[in-house]
Structure 1
């Protein structure tokens, strides 16, 4: 799901994603950096994965509360696929990629 915050939180986006899920698509929500946004996305019942730059840029501040929140998610909304996106090796790979790009090492 993409677009402005208002659009991503709209009933229209929910309907589009629900239809995508019905068709077997993976539903991903980006820019999910707050507890309220995590609750909203998981509460929809069809979001398969989330990410947010805060979990990479400010890992020490944001990752602990986010993992705790995901681990206390009700059983009907599984947090396992979401936790995989927050694994440290993935964040390290993203940092390495940015470092290579900023150093001009583009292969």
Structure 2
């Protein structure tokens, strides 16, 4: 699983700390520039913290010349509501600024009971509440996505237990604010296989 980091730190050092591959996650919240286009990278809408649709459009315009190498763009979502997120997706997918970009649908609580626009997306982004994110429903969505050849990303993966969970489900990429910012969190991920008993006890 590749960690996509939204930070201004040395990515090679981050990869050494995490013990595995990293890439970059661009967001309208921080607006970092792409430092190594040869590494995997994607664009998040930054919705969880603060809706900034104009910032997202600006970011897409800035990186338009490199869109063919972008893994996906997470379209705007409504935190906690899959139904409202789908409504937003069906409007946003028509915007000219998204033309030619690979789109990711951010899956929120309740997506298991709603139709998926599989033919219109390149990836799914596992969002939603912590309870829903770690339930059986995203696991089923991930299985379906993999069967259809879609990429899978998990958001807010900041600790070894959650990393192992999504890694075992075959998720391709993940992100996390703590993972991006803090060395000790990346090192905890690197040591995840040595923490099994502790993690099970905490869970």
In the alignment, which of 31, 44, 55 is matched to residue 156 of structure 2?
Answer: 31
Equivalent residue number for residue 181 of structure 2? 57
The higher radius of gyration belongs to 2
TM-score, normalisation: structure 2: 0.31
Instruction: Give the number of the structure whose residues are more often helix, by fraction.
Output: 1
| Superposition map of 1:17-96 within 5 A | 17-44=142-169, 46-58=170-182, 60-69=183-192
Query: Residues of 1 paired with 2:186 and 2:177: CA distance?
Result: 11
Q: Which runs of 5+ in 1 are unaligned?
A: 73-107
Aligned residues: 69
Superposition deviation, residue 6 in structure 1: 1.2
CA RMSD, 1 decimal? 1.8
Instruction: Give the number of the structure whose residues are more often strand, by fraction.
Output: 2
Query: Residues of 2 paired with 1:65 and 1:37: CA distance?
Result: 12
8 Å contact from structure 2 (residues 158, 176) kept in 1: yes
Q: Runs of 4 or more off by more than 6 Å in structure 1? A: none
Q: Which runs of 5+ in 2 are unaligned?
A: 1-125, 195-203
Superposition deviation, residue 52 in structure 1: 0.9
